[in-house]
Amino acid sequence: MSVTTPAGFSAAGVTAGLKHSGGLDLAVVQNLGPLSSAATVFTSNRCKANPVIWSQQVMRGGSVRAIVLNSGGANCYTGSIGFQTTHATAEAVGDRLGVSAGEVIVCSTGLIGEQLDLDKITAGIWDATLALQKDDSTSAEAGLSAARAIMTTDTTPKQSAVTAPAGWSIGGMAKGAGMLAPGLATMLVVITTDAVLDSAQLDTALRTATRITFDRLDSDGCMSTNDTVSLLGSGASGIAPDEAEFAAALTAICQDLTLQLQADAEGSAHDVAITVRAAETEADAVTVARAVSRSNLFKTAIFGNDPNWGRVLAAVGTTDAAFDPYNIDVTINGVQVCTAGEPDQPRELVDLTPRSVTVLITLHAGDAEATIWTNDLTHAYVEENSAYSS
């Protein structure tokens, strides 16, 4: 269950020496064809990293043969030298795989404002592309190595795959544990498929899937400069899928990876699903749920196992969504603590000891609904983000 699950993909993860820890830190995923279709969504942060700027140019070409990803440095706000490093990275992969640099997507993750060591990257690419030539480069182990190589503060690699009854497959890997609040895309995610689909078809399916999965994850409210989700199609199954069926399967993969990211969010002690229902529009539901997900007072209360629903409503009230402020219901882990803006069941009945928490907010303004996935705000989050540069 990895990016090598679909036919037509090889992967490798190697140690280039970019991470101080000495772990795997450079991955290459190669699309062996016959197709080289691709779709990618990037961060909507206006401060974009050099690899994002490069990869946006690549996507205009419409053909992607490989993705190279590094941890140990974001290559963001590193100026023209940083852009040259990204360009040289794509050139090196292209040379070694016999494809154009213009068909190589580059992704980087790590500290902003520090130059990457191009010599180490070049050596890492040499090792990785050697590994891609071996028979086991299409194995699950190869996929796992790639998934490990893109980890930063992640504690576990994140992978998902599905094979449809019709015979085509989708596989994916993701990294991301902090700066986890996607605007359009999020984090670094590579998804592969052997279904026969062109780039336009992949793009439609990818945007359908990410809109209600990665885009609804808001762990710490901080949008990254490097977020990239790429979907590569090899067509190696020879099977053209039903597009709706493909989009549904892709959405399931994206949701699985989203929940893996949430579960491994930096320092988190609770996974919180905030569902807003009976909203006038889906956009309203997202706005309200996101406002609650970004309330530090709500997040610290959840960490303290305190069902402090007043902090939920105080956050709801900052939005411009359609609702009557005094006709809102709030249910936390199944206990309706607030009905029509007044106390209902005693807050003491709410059990917040499990890691999984559900908050249900009913606006009585329509029939739209949306869920945002977030985490609590903990001592471990503060520790991880104050004691170490990342």
SS3 69: strand
Distance of CA 164 to the CA centre of its chain: 23
Nearer to its own copies, 186 or 295 (CB): 295
Q: Which amino acid is at 211?
A: R
* Closest distance of CB 34 from its own copies, Å: 39
- Exposed / middle / buried, residue 9 (Cβ in 10 Å: 0-12, 13-18, 19+): buried
Q: Is 155 annotated as a binding residue?
A: no
| Catalytic residue (one of 78, 86, 138, 186) | 186
Give yes or no for residue 385 binding its own copies (CB under 8 A).
Answer: yes
Please tell me whether 390 is known to bind a ligand.
yes
Does the footprint of its own copies cover residue 64 (CB under 8 A)? no
Q: Is 361 in the site for its own copies (CB under 8 A)?
A: no
Conformation bin of residue 72: beta by default, left when phi > 0, alpha when psi is -120 to 50: left
Q: Note whether 349 binds its own copies by CB under 8 A.
A: no
**Which CB atom, from 34 or from 343, has the smaller least distance to its own copies?**
343
Of the pair 61, 346, the CB lying nearest its own copies is at: 346
Q: Which two tokens stand for residue 207?
A: 């945007």
For the chain, how big is the Rg over CA atoms in Å? 22
Query: Total residues contacting its own copies (rule CB under 8 A)?
Result: 63
**Nearer to its own copies (CB atom), residue 61 or residue 343:** 343
Report how far residue 149's alpha carbon sits from residue 142's, in angstroms, rounded to the nearest whole number.
Answer: 11
Residue 125 in contact with its own copies, rule: CB under 8 A: no
Q: Say if residues 182 and 207 touch (Cβ distance below 8 Å).
A: no
Structure tokens at 377: 């705000």
Tell me which residue of 352, 2, 43, 366 sits closest to 226, measured CA to CA.
43
228 is catalytic: no
> Distance (Å, rounded) from C-alpha 279 to C-alpha 75?
41
What is the spatial distance between Cα 290 and Cα 282, in angstroms, rounded to a whole number? 12
Residue 327 binding its own copies, by CB under 8 A: no
Using rule CB under 8 A, residue 297 touches its own copies: yes
Q: Which is nearer to its own copies, 51 or 171 (CB)?
A: 51
Distance CA 264, CA 354 (A): 15
CB atoms within 10 A of CB 262: 22
In the complex, least distance from residue 296 CB atom to its own copies, rounded to whole angstroms? 5
Active site residues: 186
Q: Return binding residues for substrate.
A: 152, 175, 186, 266, 385, 390
Binding site for its own copies (CB under 8 A): 45-48, 74, 76-79, 111-115, 178-179, 183, 220-225, 294-297, 300-301, 303-304, 306, 308-311, 313-319, 325-326, 337-338, 340-343, 347, 377-379, 381-383, 385-389
Q: Return binding residues.
A: 152, 175, 186, 266, 385, 390
